[in-house]
Amino acid sequence: MRSFLKLDNKYLIDQSHLLGSGAFSKVYSGKDIRTEEPLAIKLINKKSEIHFYENALNEIQILKLLKHKNIVAIKEVVDSKEILYVVMEFCSGITLDKYLKEYGKLP
């Protein structure tokens, strides 16, 4: 059964479709409610270790400045009391980690 979370009345997060996860974050499939654009939405637990949260904030600030066809674009960051939501463009295909395991290196 699918489980959806509405974020900021703009986005739907499909909590039943996990795209990836790390130590302190999870990335779910989502979409823009208005345009139906598919998205990836990262949920970062703000109660995680402080250095991880600070690193995540630094990474977000840098990625917001970068515009390149090979870098996932950040559409918006939504801050709540316990979770930081990073709304990103959705890239289909395998993850970088899986690619490296399968092919060994980037071309």
Give the pLDDT score at 84: 93
- Say if CB 14 and CB 2 are below 8 A apart: yes
Give the pLDDT score at 29: 97
Q: Which residue spans within 33-101 are E strands per DSSP?
A: 38-45, 74-79, 83-89
Give the pLDDT score at 2: 83
pTM for the full predicted model: 0.86
Tens of pLDDT along 51-75?
A: 788 888 898 999 999 999 888 999 9
Q: Within 10 Å of residue 75's Cβ, how many Cβ atoms?
A: 17
Q: Within 10 Å of residue 20's Cβ, how many Cβ atoms?
A: 13
Non-local (6+) Cβ contacts of 82 within 8 A are 45, 46, 47
Give the pLDDT score at 27: 95
Give the pLDDT score at 54: 85
Q: Which has the closest alpha carbon to 60: 38, 42, 83?
A: 42
Give the pLDDT score at 74: 95
In the predicted model, residues of the chain with pLDDT beneath 50 are: none
